[in-house]
Structure 1
Amino acid sequence: MSMLRPLLWFVLGALITQSVGAQSIGVSIADQQESPGQSDIPALLRAQNNYEQKPADNNTLLTYIATLRAARLSSVAYALAQQHRDSISADLLRELTVDYAAELTRLSLAPARSETERYRLADRALEIYDALLEANNEISVTKTTNHRIYFDRIQALHARKRMGEVVQSYEQLRAQNIVIPAYLLNEIGDAYLYLEQPEKAATLYQTSLITNAAAPRDRSDVIKEKIGRYYALQEQGRWTEAYELIETTYAEEPPWRRLPGVSQPLPNDSYLEVARTWAVAPLFHNDPRLALERLETLTESAPRDAGLKIELANTQRAYGLPRAAQITLKQAEALAPLNPDLLTAQAQTALSLQEWEQAQELVAFTQKHYPELKTTQHLQEDWATHEKWELLIGAQKTFSSDSPVSGSGEHALETTLYSPPIASNWRALVGAGQTNATFNDEPLRNRWVKGGAQWRAGNTTIEAGLISQRYGYGQKTGAYGNFEQKLSDTWTMGGALAWRTPATPLRALADNISTNSAQAWIRWTPNTYREWTFSVTPSRFSDGNRRVELRIYGKEPVKQWSTVRLDGEIEVSASSNTKENTPYYNPKADFGVLAGVRLTHLLEQRYESRLEHYVQLLGGSYSQKHFGTGPMAAIGYGISWRANHNLEISSSILGIRRPYDGKQEKELRLALNISLRF
Structure 2
Amino acid sequence: MANNRRQECTAAAASNRRILLHAPLLLLLVASGSCLAGEGDPDPGGASEIAGSRGASEALPPDVQPTAASLEIARGRNALPPQAPTAIAQASDASMQLAQVPGRQPQAMPTTVVVEPEAAQPGEPAPGAQVSSSPFRLAQAADTAPPPSAPVRLAEPPASTPSNTPAPVAHAPDAPIGIAQAGNPQPPETPAQAAAAASGTPATGSAAALAHTSEPQRQPAQLAQAATTAPPNAPTQTAQASGTPMPGSPAPVTPTRSSSPAPSAPSATPNSQTPGAQLPGEPAQRSQGPDVEAPNAQAPNLRTADVPTVRNDVFGLAASGGAIKALEEAKARPDAFSAVDVAQLEELSIRQQVRGGRDKSRSMTSSDRFDGIDSALRAADDLDKRMPATPDYSPVRTALAGDRTVAYAARGDMTKAVATFETIPPDAEISIDALAAVGDAYLYLSEPAKANVVYRRALQQATAAPTDRATRGFQYGTRTRAIELREGLFWSYVDQGRAADAKQVLDDIGKSLPPAKEVRHYGPEESDFLRYYRLRAQYLIYTGHVDEGIAALEQLEQQVPFNAEVRAAHADAVSGQAHPRQAIAMYRASLTDHPDSVEMLAGLGRAALAADDYATAKYVDQTVGNVFPDSGAVRGFKRDYKAYRSPVFTTDLSYEHGNSALADNSFTSDSYVYSQPFGDNWRVFSHTYFGYAQTDSGNIKRTRTGIGGDYRHGPLTVQGEVTRSFGSDGRTGGRGSIAYALNDYWTVSAGLDTNDNSLPWKAYAAHIWGRSANVSVVYRQNDRREVKLSYGVSRYSDSNLHQEITATATQRVYTSANQLVNVSLDLGTDSNTRRDAPYFSPGRDYAAAATVMHQLTLWKKGDMSLQQRLSASGGVYNERGFGSSPLWSARLEHAWTFKHDITLSYGIEVSSHAYDGQRERSETGFLSVNLPF
- Band the TM-score falls in, shorter-chain normalisation: 0.7 to 0.9
CA change 1:22–1:366 in 2 (3 A) is farther
Aligned to 1:6: none
Deviations 1:340-373 (A, max 9, x none): 2122112111211212233123223323211233
Aligned to 2:833: 578
Aligned to 2:708: 452
Bigger shift: 200-209 or 126-135? 126-135
Distance 2:767 2:413 in 1: 67
Aligned pair partner of 2:553 in 292, 295, 298 = 295
Aligned to 2:457: 207
- 8 Å CA contact 1:97–1:128 kept in 2: the answer is no
Aligned to 2:773: 518
Aligned pair partner of 1:464 in 714, 717, 720 = 720
Distance 1:18 1:597 in 2: 72
Aligned to 1:3: none
Aligned pair partner of 2:872 in 599, 617, 621 = 617
Distance 1:141 1:85 in 2: 20
Q: How does 1:118-137 map to 2 (within 5 A)?
A: 119-137=370-388
Provide structure 2 residue ranges, at least 5 long, that are not aligned to the other structure: 1-232, 238-244, 252-277, 286-291, 473-478
SS at match of 1:645: helix
Aligned to 1:354: 612
Deviations 1:75-133 (A, max 9, x none): 78369859989999896876765554444344345599614687444334333333333
Aligned to 1:593: 848
Q: How does 1:212-223 map to 2 (within 5 A)?
A: 212-215=462-465, 221-223=481-483
Aligned to 2:692: 436
Distance 2:523 2:708 in 1: 66
Structure 2 residue 667 is matched with structure 1 residue 411:
yes
Task: Return the offset for 1:493.
Answer: 0.8
Aligned to 1:193: 443
CA change 1:640–1:191 in 2 (3 A) is closer
CA change 1:622–1:195 in 2 (3 A) is closer
CA change 1:638–1:550 in 2 (3 A) is same
Greater fraction of residues in strand: 1
- 8 Å CA contact 2:446–2:863 kept in 1: the answer is no
CA change 1:543–1:169 in 2 (3 A) is closer
CA change 1:21–1:452 in 2 (3 A) is farther
Task: Return the offset for 1:669.
Answer: 2.5
Aligned pair partner of 1:537 in 773, 776, 792 = 792
CA change 1:359–1:184 in 2 (3 A) is closer
Bigger shift: 185-194 or 305-314? 185-194
- 8 Å CA contact 2:537–2:549 kept in 1: the answer is yes
SS at match of 1:43: coil
Structure-1-length-normalised TM-score? 0.83
SS at match of 1:587: coil
CA change 1:254–1:540 in 2 (3 A) is farther
Aligned pair partner of 1:652 in 872, 886, 907 = 907
Task: Return the offset for 1:152.
Answer: 4.6
SS at match of 2:422: helix
Task: Return the offset for 1:524.
Answer: 1.1
| One-letter identity of the residue aligned with 2:687 | G
Distance 1:472 1:146 in 2: 76
SS at match of 2:626: helix
Aligned to 2:803: 548
Identity %: 20
Bigger shift: 62-71 or 373-382? 62-71
SS at match of 1:428: strand
Distance 1:438 1:584 in 2: 14
Distance 1:556 1:322 in 2: 20
Corresponding pairs, count: 645
Aligned to 2:322: 74
CA change 1:198–1:113 in 2 (3 A) is closer
Q: How does 1:389-408 map to 2 (within 5 A)?
A: 389-403=647-661, 406-408=662-664
CA change 1:61–1:127 in 2 (3 A) is farther
CA change 1:395–1:654 in 2 (3 A) is same
Task: Return the offset for 1:660.
Answer: 1.8
Distance 2:752 2:551 in 1: 42
Task: Return the offset for 1:538.
Answer: 2.1
Task: Return the offset for 1:533.
Answer: 0.7
Provide structure 1 residue ranges, at least 5 long, that are not aligned to the other structure: 1-11, 52-56
Distance 1:481 1:594 in 2: 31
- 8 Å CA contact 1:431–1:451 kept in 2: the answer is yes
Bigger shift: 365-374 or 246-255? 246-255
- 8 Å CA contact 1:596–1:616 kept in 2: the answer is yes
Structure 2 residue 888 is matched with structure 1 residue 630:
no
- 8 Å CA contact 1:256–1:267 kept in 2: the answer is no
Distance 1:289 1:522 in 2: 26
Aligned to 1:374: 632
Bigger shift: 194-203 or 151-160? 151-160
Deviations 1:457-505 (A, max 9, x none): 11111111122224543x2122111111111111111000121322233
Aligned to 2:430: 180
Task: Return the offset for 1:170.
Answer: 3.6
- 8 Å CA contact 1:133–1:139 kept in 2: the answer is no
Distance 1:380 1:458 in 2: 19
- 8 Å CA contact 1:396–1:412 kept in 2: the answer is yes
- 8 Å CA contact 1:77–1:96 kept in 2: the answer is no
Aligned pair partner of 1:309 in 567, 573, 588 = 567
| One-letter identity of the residue aligned with 2:732 | T
CA change 1:41–1:597 in 2 (3 A) is same
Task: Return the offset for 1:146.
Answer: 6.7
CA change 1:161–1:210 in 2 (3 A) is same
Deviations 1:33-89 (A, max 9, x none): 899x9x969835xx6xx89xxxxx856999899868756472783698599899998
Task: Return the offset for 1:597.
Answer: 1.0
Task: Return the offset for 1:322.
Answer: 0.5
Aligned to 1:240: 500
SS at match of 1:227: helix
Aligned to 2:896: 641
Distance 1:354 1:21 in 2: 61
SS at match of 1:292: helix
Structure 2 residue 641 is matched with structure 1 residue 383:
yes
- 8 Å CA contact 1:185–1:205 kept in 2: the answer is yes
| One-letter identity of the residue aligned with 2:322 | S
- 8 Å CA contact 1:635–1:654 kept in 2: the answer is yes
- 8 Å CA contact 1:255–1:271 kept in 2: the answer is no
Distance 1:271 1:465 in 2: 57
| One-letter identity of the residue aligned with 2:492 | A
CA RMSD of aligned residues (A): 4.1
Task: Return the offset for 1:304.
Answer: 0.4
SS at match of 2:703: strand
Distance 1:440 1:185 in 2: 69
Distance 2:310 2:772 in 1: 93
CA change 1:140–1:431 in 2 (3 A) is same
Greater fraction of residues in helix: 1
Aligned pair partner of 2:747 in 487, 492, 504 = 492
CA change 1:60–1:357 in 2 (3 A) is farther
Aligned to 1:9: none
CA change 1:590–1:81 in 2 (3 A) is same
| One-letter identity of the residue aligned with 1:190 | D
CA change 1:630–1:673 in 2 (3 A) is same
SS at match of 2:578: coil
* Rg (Cα) greater in structure: 2
SS at match of 1:269: helix
| One-letter identity of the residue aligned with 2:673 | L
Task: Return the offset for 1:536.
Answer: 0.8
